[in-house]
Amino acid sequence: MKPVEIAKGIYDVGVIDWTIRDFHGYSTHMGTSYNAFLVVGEKIVLIDTVKKNFADQLLRNIARIVDPAKIDVVISNHTEMDHSGALPYIMGKVGKEKPVYCSSMGQKNLSRHFSETFNFQAIKEGEDLVLGDKTFSFIETRMLHWPDSMFTYLKEDKILFSSDAFGQHYAGHEQFDDVVGEKIMSHAKKYFANILLLYAPLILKLIDKVVGMGLEINMLCPDHGVLWRNPSTIIDAYARWSRQEDLENKAVVVYDTMWHSTELMALAIADGLHLEGVDVRPMKLREYDRSDIMTEICDAKAVVVGSPTLNNGIFPTVADFLTYMKGLKPQNKIAAAFGSFGWSGESVKILEQELADMKFDLITPGLKHQYVPDDDALEKCVAFGRQIAAVIKETRR
Within 10 angstroms of residue 227's Cβ, the number of other Cβ atoms is 26
- List Cβ neighbours of 76 (8 Å cut-off, separation of 6 or more): 48, 49, 83, 84, 87, 100, 101, 102, 106, 110
B/e letters for 20-57, b = 16+ CB within 10 Å, e = fewer, are eeebeebbbebbbbbbbbbbbbeebbbbbbbbeebbeb
Q: Which residues of 130-142 are buried (b: 16+ CB within 10 A; e: fewer)?
A: ebeebebbbbbbb
pLDDT digits (tens, 9 = 90+) for 104-156: 998 898 888 887 789 999 999 988 999 999 999 999 998 888 888 999 999 99
How far is CA 397 from each of CA 91, 145, 228, rounded to the nearest angstrom?
A: 50, 26, 29
Residues belonging to the active site: 24, 78, 80, 82, 145, 164, 191, 224
In one letter, which amino acid is 73? V
Cut 0.75: pTM above it? yes
- With beta carbons less than 8 A apart as the criterion, state whether 394 and 386 touch: no
Residues 6+ apart with CB under 8 A from 91: 74, 98, 100, 116, 118
pLDDT of residue 35: 96
Q: How is residue 12 annotated by DSSP?
A: E
What is the phi/psi pair of residue 80, to 5°? Answer: -55, 145
pLDDT reported for residue 245: 85
CB 10 within 8 A of CB 19: no
* β pairing state of 4-7 and 10-12: antiparallel
338-to-71, 136, 256, 291, 356 alpha-carbon distances in Å? 60, 55, 11, 22, 14
Cα 340 from Cα 253, distance rounded (Å): 15
Amino acid identity at 247: L
- Tens-digit pLDDT string for the chain (397 aa): 679 999 999 999 999 999 999 888 889 999 999 999 999 999 999 999 999 999 999 999 999 999 999 999 999 999 998 888 899 999 999 999 999 999 999 889 888 888 778 999 999 998 899 999 999 999 999 888 888 899 999 999 999 999 999 999 999 999 999 999 999 999 999 999 999 999 999 999 999 988 888 899 999 999 999 999 999 999 999 999 999 988 999 999 999 999 999 999 999 999 999 999 999 999 999 999 999 999 999 999 999 999 999 999 999 999 999 999 999 999 999 999 999 999 998 999 999 999 999 999 999 999 999 999 999 999 999 999 999 999 999 977 6
Residue 364: predicted pLDDT: 93
Domains delineated in the chain: 4-243 (3.60.15.10), 251-391 (3.40.50.360)
**Per-residue model confidence as pLDDT tens digits over 9-40:** 999 999 999 999 988 888 999 999 999 999 99
* pLDDT value at residue 146: 80
The rounded distance, in Å, linking the Cα atoms of 21 and 31 is: 6
